[in-house]
Structure 1
């Protein structure tokens, strides 16, 4: 059965038109006589000196200043206003209607709330701050319909003033001389447009500079930047000097005298100085810790200020950041007091309020995915953030769960798992070399050990042991490194059923799961992200990793030379491979409540020497809620291999040595906690060599023709600390179809029950997919 495309298009256009008309009429029908719905303000820039693109940029920037903000629109409709009107004016007994009106709805923004003169003054002031000193703003009313009104502003900015000359006062006072010597780093340059915000930023930059030279009591308000606009020819002169009325303490450079650490400080304790009688000395620190909660060595790598050194703001902030990042203090406060006004010395005080070191957390999770798994998982975690009194984090986690397959082919092939993991993290690098980067983040050493038992009903069970020793450190707020010197994983199958052996016989992909696996070697992960910078329009995330196994061991045991004879350790063949994986994401802000996210995920693993194939647990998979959502998890690929050709009572996982995956997603906040998304996913996995039971799985020069493509839409409930996600997706291109029949767009039939059952994938997940 096929649906006539033209009729479908006409149907959607008709339905869309009706919805838009209803939304349009409904937004004003509750207005009283004489009330008008405010539709927003338009800005027209009248200037001969600005280009078309400059006028557009100026108008867009000024539009954000207009108040009030009109009711939000989506596709011409105002859904929040519609919900507000739909709820009516309920009494207190109608809790749902009250909730819908107050939480989901939004009252109408009326034109009578608009102050044209106020907005005109705001626009004029903003342009004057960026050098347009002779601004003219005209405003009037724009009547849209008999129930809607907007505002129109005609802005004539004139010619922008630019900096003619910047003069720094040069006299004999040390502070003024310091600022004069630093003028070469100033961002105030001749020929640049006048900008008040940049002048304010410059005062802050100079304040930070002199504070790093010991001027603790100096502030940006002590620096005067005078502006002379009488130069002519649309230019200004700037004059920079320290204010004459600057307080005397701000004119002095200070050195650090004594450093006090109150390690058990309570905010309500006003008698903390009386506890100095119980203080003890550790190097340059005077520590008050009556109960001995912390070893004094934790401050060696946290407090950077030293006795006798010139006060330095960078070291000041670095010390506070490091104390916070130790993770054992609930509050960290710092103050300075003049201890010697003649010799300009400061005493430093650190007030540290300990957090409760022990915590226990119990989590119960329910889950479902496109592979027809439904299940639950229970996690129990106990942690101690000060295990050896040196801010060491010790944690033990136990978990157990079950996934029940509900599809007809997988019914009864359930998955059960249980495990335990313990880890110990030290707030330092335990290594032969002393490595302590000067950042606000404390480098860490982490050791982990764990065990997991996994059982697939009617098939097999796996025992997995793992251990690792490695280092974590942040180079900056955006760059993080993780280097595991040793990462070991031993997997042993057990309780393999005759049913699985029957279907695995002669199928290398299935037989591989029955092999014991010993994986050990170093891994390295590099992560860069600036997504926390909210003011940026473009932000990025990149995560790259390298994984080596058995490289040195294989060389020493001759596995690289004698590849025909498999080498073993304690009777178990060890894996030998090199694997690299890369995940790049770009976030483009389209507006305050919308963004476009793109992602490229690629990786490859190469087995050699002692291994003919990559370990099953280290291969790549696609499909599912965080991958190509139009296909069931782990059922797609490799290459053009058709999983339906497998004559099996269960659906085995499909894996590959190489992955290329691309995702594109448009996200928009609809209202309140509800967000919507439209997405397209593409990609596949491949093997580097032929595998007899996976024909078409080897990568070739036309690999791009084997991309699977899916599209869909989703809803996300963002409640700050948790995002609950529902995604519906369907295939656009199926790689295992015959060549020329892989595009299936013409086969889409949303009204067909069987098509929906076979193609429409539902994904439920916690958090965003990327």
Structure 2
């Protein structure tokens, strides 16, 4: 079986090599006719100045074939396909008189006909055409279309006398040419006067109040985009000023200009027209003018299903709302009315309708609502009916996954959750979940058992409001979609690390001031971590043990220390420290000066013992944090946006203040204890910024920067491992594996390297290759350091600007496949600048495929 797999892999490599050679040797002009020219470039000149604006370049109908780093990959893939594979097959079949007869006898005539339709004969050509790209040959009809588009574009900018031409510029290489588009603008037209003709007196009054905000102004150059913006502004203004039925189509402009006038008299008059309201069935011009409507009555149907008879429902009045329900009202009235932003006797505002839709959806109790308005045109009043269809009271979700990690060779993970809606009648959501996993241990030496297991569960309840003893509506109104979350969870691990047991509890609030801003306040974030198996430390952290064992080799032949050692299977090191007793006793003897060592060795043992104590001690984290997020992305296809995240966290301050009132017990190091555990005390801040630029068709330049600092103080002299920083991995510096890089210029001294200061910078160029296959080139820079803690290794400590020389650089390339709903990616990273090396060896010393790091990830790293 292994031999067959090896043979298959070899054939796959040979096939890939042949494909690469075929593409490399492919003739780019293979399918370009003798009288045709391959388009290689478009140039646009406006008044003799070259234009690089992507919007204007997008007006060109014909664009050159796409390329990957200057190479027309998709064109050459297309050229590899046969034009007429059926005819080629028939020619080959009949080229020899006996060939067809032999194949018919060997396969049967029916199978020979099927062979013609096979992938090797026909299918691969169709596949290459599908992922490839036909040659873009200059088509003068499309070129003239592009000229017309350019002229129309500059017409929309006020250059009504512009003229455009094009030239075909043949290059030195045969059958290739560039297209030069040239536009002469002339002088633009300027708006001289802006007049108005508004049929509705009420609309006229509203317009006059907000006239200064107009995008169309006297003395400015004509720009059609400004007229579009003004139509949108007026529509929004009127709909938020009581005109519930205002239609944008009621707005038009009369533009008076004479393009034959002299160049120094290019003025134009503009008249704004707002017509009367016209219904879809009204073809005459006898409609009434627009009016300002007020809300006469607001009805809420809390248990409405399509087709229900509303006459049979019970009703109640609450705070100027009428609530209809079946049998018994299952919701507290205030929970319903707080989600409605319409108020009785107030004017209609479209923003209130939008906010009502969003807040009802935010309740997570009803399906998307239906809001109906019934007008009384004689009184200019509205009756609003809000129909709420409830979601199921209970729902069950289950998931099953196959996992792999550096701890597990293979594992299975499952989770299940039960969701209960409207738990207390206020649209609260209760989520009870359980999860578990079991896997085969990768390294049997880490445990006496073969399997790992993990079991956990959470109880999570969400309130669609800020849950505090005082009213926060004036600070955080309901249109900001406020939510409160209370979570209690626990987790148990076996044969994973030190077999942690954790208990966590979170009380948090989140709200969105705008569509693109989101805030989250975790008022309480309590986490208790207990290490069940601390004696397994040296089995898990093998590098730390190796350093201690190497230091102990100088004393392994001394009989008085024989109890520290045991025989090993390693011929190069026949004796090793016994885990855990021998290692712990040896370290203790060194620190107690019972074993004579050098100062450097003493420092190393002290560092190892300090790390062991830190990673095996139990942790109690009692924190508060605030996170502010902004994302300017306007849609899934927006490739030009930015986003940032700012986070501030404080831990231990509340417990420290209580200690001044209620004295706590202390350990030997003078740390205050809660339930026998020293609580962590630190301040932490993070800033994360991402920027994307669209630099071409489906080409994106993505940048990320991250800075994080956690400073221990008071009851702590270091940061808990679960709140510290690490570097490397598929979403960080891809030239290193996770936890391998740093701190500073240290060279992977621990199995899991972490610190309390981190800087990271990433730059990635993403481009299409063929179809759903994408490519990327990236450069990742950054590192972690220790600062303001008890670390004493100078190579790991950040000391100022000079430490920036320790920033590592990893570069590489990646390939991704876009499955629409997610992206699967493989990245290959190389250590381009390694601060752990010395001198010139820092650059490119590990820049080879043998030492490359392969990263597999889902979706883009940033």
Matched-pair contact (CA < 8 Å) for 1:619–1:656: yes
TM-score after normalising by structure 1: 0.85
What per-residue deviation string (whole Å, max 9, x for no partner) do you get for residues 311-358 of structure 1?
Answer: 1111121112222333344433333221x2221111223344444551
Match of 2:74 in 1: 80
Higher CA-based Rg = 2
Measured at CA, do residues 234 and 766 of structure 1 come closer, stay the same or move farther in structure 2, by a change above 3 Å?
same
C-alpha distance in 2 between matches for 1:453 and 1:561:
28
In the alignment, structure 1 residue 421 sits paired with structure 2 residue 458: yes
Q: Deviations over 1:681-720 (max 9, x none)?
A: 1222222257568552222122112222211111122212
Task: Write the mapping of 1:663-742 to structure 2, written as runs, cut at 5 A.
Answer: 663-689=762-788, 691=790, 694=793, 696-701=795-800, 702-738=802-838, 740-741=839-840
CA distance in 2, matches of 1:33, 1:188: 53
Superposed CA offset, 1:185-209 (max 9, x none): 1122233221112112202211211
Secondary structure at the counterpart of residue 497 of structure 1: helix
Greater RCO structure (CA 8 Å; 6+ sep): 1
**Runs of at least 5 residues in structure 2 that lack an aligned partner in the other structure:** 1-18, 86-115, 279-285, 539-579, 588-605
Q: Distance in 2 between matches of 1:104 and 1:293?
A: 56
CA positional deviation for 1:43: 2.9
State the match for 2:93 in structure 1.
none
Q: Per-residue CA shift, 1:383-422, capped at 9, x if unaligned?
A: 4262425433322333334677869998999975432222
**Partner of 1:45 in structure 2?**
46
Give the 5 Å matches for 1:358-507. 358-367=395-404, 375-376=410-411, 378-384=413-419, 386-388=421-423, 390-401=426-437, 417-436=454-473, 437-438=476-477, 440-456=479-495, 460-497=498-535, 500=538, 501=580, 505=587, 506=606, 507=609
Aligned to 1:251, the other structure's residue is in SS state coil
**Alignment RMSD:** 3.6
Q: Determine if contact 1:397/1:420 at 8 Å carries over to the other structure.
A: yes
TM-score between the two structures when normalised by the length of structure 2: 0.76
For the 8 Å contact 2:38–2:135, the answer to whether it is kept is yes
Give the drift of 1:154. Answer: 2.6
**Match 1:260 to one of 293, 299, 303:** 299
Change (3 A) 1:666 1:208: same
Which of 657, 661, 668 is matched with 1:555 structurally? 657
Stretch moving more, 187-196 or 635-644 = 635-644
Matched, 1:228 2:256: yes
Q: How many residues align?
A: 725
Q: 1:346 aligns with which of 361, 382, 389?
A: 382
Deviations 1:427-470 (A, max 9, x none): 1111123224347542101011111223456x622111111111
The 8 Å contact of residues 560 and 609 in structure 1, kept in 2 or not, is answered as no
- Tell me which residue corresponds to 1:179: 207
Match in the other structure for 2:601: none
Matched residues in 2 for 1:57 and 1:499: separation?
61
Q: Alpha-carbon deviation of 1:68?
A: 4.3
Cα deviation for residue 216 of structure 1 reads: 1.5
Residues in 1 aligned to 2:254 and 2:665: alpha-carbon distance in whole angstroms? 77
Deviation at 1:731, TM superposition (A): 0.9
Distance 1:105 1:113 in 2: 24
Q: Is the 8 A contact 2:277 2:290 kept in 1?
A: no
1:317 corresponds, among 346, 354, 358, to 354
Q: For residues 69-109 of structure 1, what are the alpha-carbon distances to aligned partners after superposition, in whole Å with 9 as ceiling and x for unaligned?
A: 45322234333333334344667553963772465234444
Partner Cα distance (1:681, 1:407) in 2: 31
Q: Which residue of 1 aligns with 2:102?
A: none
- Corresponding residue for residue 333 of structure 1: 370
Aligned partner (choices 142, 152, 164) of residue 115 of structure 1: 142
Could you tell me how far 1:223 is from its partner in structure 2?
2.6
Cα shift at 1:168? 3.9
Q: Distance in 2 between matches of 1:30 and 1:302?
A: 64
Aligned position for 1:523? 625
Cross-structure match for 1:659: 758
The verdict on how the C-alpha distance between 1:643 and 1:211 changes in structure 2, with shifts beyond 3 A counting, is closer
Residue pair 1:218, 1:250 contacting (<8 A) in 2 also: no
Distance 1:183 1:515 in 2: 68
Comparing 247-256 and 616-625, the one that deviates more: 247-256
